[in-house]
Amino acid sequence: MLLNTKLAVMPLWYYICNILNLYKPKLNRMIRFKPLFLIAFLFSVFTSVNSQNLDLPTAYIRNSNSGKNKIPANVKGSPFINENFTSSQLIVNNKKIKAQLRYDAYTDAFEVKQSNGSVYLSKNPQISINYLNNNYYLIEYYNDSGILKMGYLQSMVENEDIKVYKRDVKIFEEGEEAINSYAVDKPAKFEEEVRYYLALNSDNPKEIRLKRRDIIRFFDNKKVKNFIKDEKLKFKDENDLIELADYYNKMHNNEK
């Protein structure tokens, strides 16, 4: 694969020298007759080069697209959170790399737009992702069955004592043919779920339902239980979970 990533780090003088050599005959005529046109010409070429959609290094992408979804025709919904590729960032060793991404919530993978198509991003814990203004990390977590898995989790709260994550999931449901003339066919479709995860201290995140009883059991802390009751937290949405995490963090800071 031919890579253009060098363009992103070359200094300005490199571009100018190459442009001058490439367009030398034309530039000679411009210098002689129209110096203002020369300035406009150089600016437009440099802007064009600098705005290219640069391909990612091969170290960051999979060897093939064999893992791509083979979605049957006439499926309702989409495996992607957003069908469109969106300007995003990969963060590797505190360095930010721009990329056009979209998230496949069915296979839990990020697809990268390249100059010759698209590929899937390699799953590497050292690569964090800022997508749709949210931070994603490749983390080991426990699912609702207590099985340790590895996948992308979106960070909601990041504190030393408590971390809250969420994960958008697309579940594929097979279609069904009508069993008789009175029934209708049921098309295949993608159903969307949101799953939440909590981690205390440096523990692996654990999947948790947004149920009051389950959350009280997870913390097993009298102060947390009283806070939930006093504030009448119902956990109908994620805002109550974030409020509880903020309280837990303040409580621990006061105890230090």
Residues with Cβ < 8 Å from 117, sequence gap 6 or more?
A: none
Choose among 108, 147, 143, 114: nearest CA to 129. Answer: 108
pLDDT at site 46: 42
Domain range list for the chain: 5-50
Residues with Cβ < 8 Å from 116, sequence gap 6 or more?
A: none
CB 213 within 8 A of CB 234: no
Is the pTM for the entire model greater than 0.85? Answer: no
pLDDT at site 49: 37
Burial 99-126 (b: 16+ CB within 10 A, else e): bbbbbbbbebbbbbbbeeeebbbbeeee
- Residue-level pLDDT, tens digit, the chain, 256 residues: 333 433 333 444 444 555 455 455 555 555 554 555 555 544 444 443 333 344 555 556 654 454 456 676 778 999 999 999 999 999 998 899 999 999 999 999 999 998 888 999 999 999 999 999 999 999 999 999 999 999 999 999 999 899 999 999 999 988 877 777 776 778 889 999 999 999 999 999 999 999 999 999 999 999 999 999 999 999 999 999 999 999 999 998 887 6
Give the Cα-Cα-Cα angle 116, 117, 123 (nearest 5 degrees).
Answer: 115
pLDDT at site 192: 96
